[in-house]
Amino acid sequence: MTCYSFASGPAPLPPDVIEAVAADVRRLSGSSYSLLELPFTNPLFSRILEEAEDDIRYLLALPDTYHVLFLQGGATAQFSLIPQNLCNGVAEVDYVDTGLWSHRAIEAALPWCQVNIAARGDGRTLPCPASWLRSPNAAYCHFTTNETADGLQYHQWPADDGPPLVADMTADLFTRPFPIDRLGLVYASGQKNLGATGLTLILIRQDLAERSSVTTPSPFDYSRQVQSRSKVNTPPTLAIAIAAHMLKWIKVHGGLAEMEANARRRSDLVYAAIDTSGFYSRTVAAFDRSMLNVCFRTPTARLDELFLIQAAEQGLLDLCGHIDIGGLRASLYNSARMGAAEALVEFMKHFQAKWG
Ligand SMILES: Cc1ncc(COP(=O)(O)O)c(C=O)c1O
């Protein structure tokens, strides 16, 4: 039986990336080291880091005015570290409150500054960027491009006409082209589209990298990490090496335009099955639906439970919704295959025929 995982993270990796990492773990080409033993001070590691950065710059067409940081701590750590790094004496910040992950970012910012809610979603739709009330005095405006737990995704980008924009792109960085030059800072955990847990990627514009506070712990101080090229302390070497393979895989498979086309094809198939079923229901509006996290329900919570059990018996794994939200969720990140979406749709039809 072919098994597919629809986990929200860590997400499945492409088999050839797993093979390449496994080979590096046995012995890194041109060296006597296993990847697991490679010191971060070794020139071989510097080469991995530089190649990863070059690929990031190529894929995103990242201007030279941006720095790339490879840090630890996950996006959740950044929720507290962003205000610590960027406020720099400014008391106010703007946040767009659109779902579970932006709520968490807001809660983490509250001890550090006055949080203005620039806009609030209603759980089914996203407030359009043109409607955000951005304060001229804010140190930055934070938004979440893809609400992983709620299944919402921004398909419009805000204009860069106020305080710098800060985007949590944990779920959709490297899944589509986007106007990076409008954003001051982008951050993402690695375990969805960029490989493995343990790496937090930060893209930061030079003017924001210059803001810093003496009280921020040095591993999380963006300006110090920029100066030492992500080596203030030991960087997550294994996760960086996995990301380096994943970035090459994205390049070989057509770059961001192709990642987006595939994500759209996979999610369109599942959404169409939901919308035409008369049995399943989508939890968000069509124009704000996520290409990465398809959230849906059967008519009852009891049937949702049964769906999960019977799907797992057919090799369709990890389809439960976020623990705080419930329902069902199919996460389909960069390495998800079209076959996964097709197998899910097939199962959905069988399940409906039996229980509908
Ligand atoms: C949009 C978003 N932000 C933040 C996080 C938290 O990431 P981490 O668990 O790596 O801290 C997640 C995790 O799923 C997420 O989807």
| 190 in Cβ contact with 197 (< 8 Å) | yes
Which numbered atom of ligand 1 lies nearest the CA of 77? Answer: 11
Domain 15-252 fold = Aspartate Aminotransferase; domain 2 (3.40.640)
Which numbered atom of ligand 1 lies nearest the CA of 76? Answer: 11
Which numbered atom of ligand 1 lies nearest the CA of 75? Answer: 11
Ligand 1 centroid to residue 304 C-alpha, Å: 24
Distance (Å, whole) CA 120 – CA 99: 9
Distance (Å, whole) CA 272 – CA 168: 28
Take residue 229 and report the two structure tokens written for it.
Answer: 């090229």
Which numbered atom of ligand 1 lies nearest the CA of 191? Answer: 10
Tokens 């959905």 belong to residue: 348
Q: pTM score > 0.85 for this model?
A: yes
Ligand 1 neighbours by CB, cut-off 6 Å:
8-9, 74-76, 101, 144, 148, 168, 170-171, 189
Query: Which position among 101, 150, 288, 318 bears the catalytic label?
Result: 101
Ligand 1 centroid to residue 205 C-alpha, Å: 22
Ligand 1 centroid to residue 43 C-alpha, Å: 32
How far from 107 is each of 42, 80, 117, 174, 215, CA to CA, in Å?
40, 9, 12, 27, 20
Distance (Å, whole) CA 305 – CA 351: 12
Ligand 1 centroid to residue 283 C-alpha, Å: 20
List the chain domain ranges: 15-252, 255-355
- The pLDDT, as a whole number, for residue 212 is 78
Mutating to test ligand 1, I would choose from 189, 291, 318, 333 the residue with most ligand atoms within 8 A of its C-beta, which is 189
- The pLDDT, as a whole number, for residue 88 is 83
Say whether 112 is catalytic. no
- The pLDDT, as a whole number, for residue 338 is 97
Which numbered atom of ligand 1 lies nearest the CA of 144? Answer: 1
Tokens 């880091």 belong to residue: 49
Distance (Å, whole) CA 276 – CA 268: 12
Question: Which residues does 354 contact at the CB level (< 8 Å), separation at least 6?
Answer: none
* CATH of span 255-355: 3.90.1150.10
* Atom 1 of ligand 1, residue of closest alpha carbon: 170
Q: What are residue 47's phi and psi, to 5 degrees?
A: -65, -40
Ligand 1 centroid to residue 276 C-alpha, Å: 31
Take residue 172 and report the two structure tokens written for it.
Answer: 């959709």
- The pLDDT, as a whole number, for residue 125 is 98
* Atom 7 of ligand 1, residue of closest alpha carbon: 75
What is the mean pLDDT of each successive set of 10 residues along the chain, which is 356 residues long? 95 96 96 96 96 98 98 96 91 96 98 96 97 96 98 97 96 98 98 96 97 88 96 97 98 98 98 98 96 98 98 98 95 97 98 96
How far from 346 is each of 54, 269, 270, 333, CA to CA, in Å?
41, 11, 10, 20
Mutating to test ligand 1, I would choose from 8, 76, 95, 142 the residue with most ligand atoms within 8 A of its C-beta, which is 76
- What is the 3-state secondary structure of the chain? CCCEECCCCCCCCCHHHHHHHHHHHHCCCCCCCCHHHCCCCCHHHHHHHHHHHHHHHHHHCCCCCEEEEEECCHHHHHHHHHHHHHCCCCCEEEEEECCHHHHHHHHHHCCCCEEEEEEECCCCCCCCHHHCCCCCCCCCEEEECEECCCCEECCCCCCCCCCCEEEECCCCCCCCCCCHHHCCEEEEECCCCCCCCCCEEEEEEHHHHCCCCCCCCHHHCHHHHHHCCCCCCCCCHHHHHHHHHHHHHHHHCCHHHHHHHHHHHHHHHHHHHHHCCCCCEECCCHHHECCCEEEEECCCHHHHHHHHHHHHHCCEECCECCCCCCCEEEECCCCCCHHHHHHHHHHHHHHHHHHC
Distance (Å, whole) CA 182 – CA 205: 10
Ligand 1 centroid to residue 191 C-alpha, Å: 9
Query: Which position among 132, 172, 192, 304 bears the catalytic label?
Result: 192
Take residue 292 and report the two structure tokens written for it.
Answer: 């990465």
